[in-house]
Amino acid sequence: MDPKAVAAEKAVEYIENGMVVGLGTGSTSYHAIRKIGERVSQGLRIRAVASSAKSEQLARECRIPLAAFTAIDHIDITIDGADEVDRQLNLIKGGGGALLREKILAYNSKQTIIIVDDSKLVDTLGKFPLPIEVTPFAVELTLAQLERLKGNPYIRMAQSERFVTDNGNLIIDCHFDAIRAPEELNTKLHLIPGVIETGLFLHTPFTRVIAGYADGATQILGA
């Protein structure tokens, strides 16, 4: 079995009628969106908001009712993926390039469910490159500052062109190796002008992590 699909199916069980649901971005989140679409076709009544144009398009294809952000005042539950999860439930996210929007949804949700396959559970963050969303203006100067932090940064590319987020920004991926003090690193990164948001998700309110396994089992961590 696909462990991502296993985790997604379990996560969708937490959705109830009348909820406003935040939709994440990335390969694991897409499993969840399709499963939510199946439940909607069976009578589930919800409204959803999406963290990216790709997720919004998939939601429309799955006939999931979408709400404008001006029409909601809360998000009941957000289901999203992660690139790494440590024992304290700190996350690295942004492999799909939507980290800023994903963080906005997560921090405005009553609960956030992170779905991963078991390979994403780690003792220490850092094996997966840390995505950082930056403004395109003077990006070379931002790169230089990240070099000084020993981030080994490089601008993410999409084929032969720079990857551009839905917000019109760029993504810089950094290899910090082991991130043993994620809060300290996150603070240093936010002090760099040009950095808009980081892929470090720390102390996200009411986070639950569901890890899926190839044998169909799931492991639930957190709230």
Q: Could you give the C-alpha distances from 124 to 20, 83, 109, 110, in angstroms and in order?
A: 33, 12, 26, 27
Domain shared by 113 and 159, yes or no: no
pLDDT value of residue 177: 87
Domain shared by 26 and 115, yes or no: yes
Query: What is the length of the chain?
Result: 223
Domain shared by 39 and 111, yes or no: yes
For the segment 20-38, the average pLDDT, to the nearest whole number, is 97
Q: Model pTM?
A: 0.95
Interhelix angle 27-41/53-61, nearest 10 degrees: 30
Active-site choice (102, 147, 161, 183): 102
Element (H, E) at 103: helix 99-107
Domain shared by 145 and 167, yes or no: yes
Distance of CA 124 to the CA centre of its chain: 18
pLDDT band of 102, cuts 50, 70, 90: very high
Q: How many helices (H) and strands (E) does the chain have?
A: 6, 15
What is the domain extent for residue 134? Answer: 130-198
CATH of residue 217: 3.40.50.1360
Residue 16 annotated among the catalytic residues of the structure? no
pLDDT band of 203, cuts 50, 70, 90: confident
For the segment 80-93, the average pLDDT, to the nearest whole number, is 96
| 107, pLDDT greater than 80 | yes
- Tell me what percent of the residues of the chain surpass a pLDDT of 90: 96
Domain shared by 160 and 190, yes or no: yes
pLDDT band of 205, cuts 50, 70, 90: confident
Number of domains in the chain: 2
For the segment 140-163, the average pLDDT, to the nearest whole number, is 97
Instruction: Give the burial string for 126-154 (b: 16+ CB within 10 Å, else e).
Output: bebbbbbbbeeeebeebbebbeeeebebe
Per-residue pLDDT tens over the stretch 119-146: 999 999 999 999 999 999 999 999 999 9
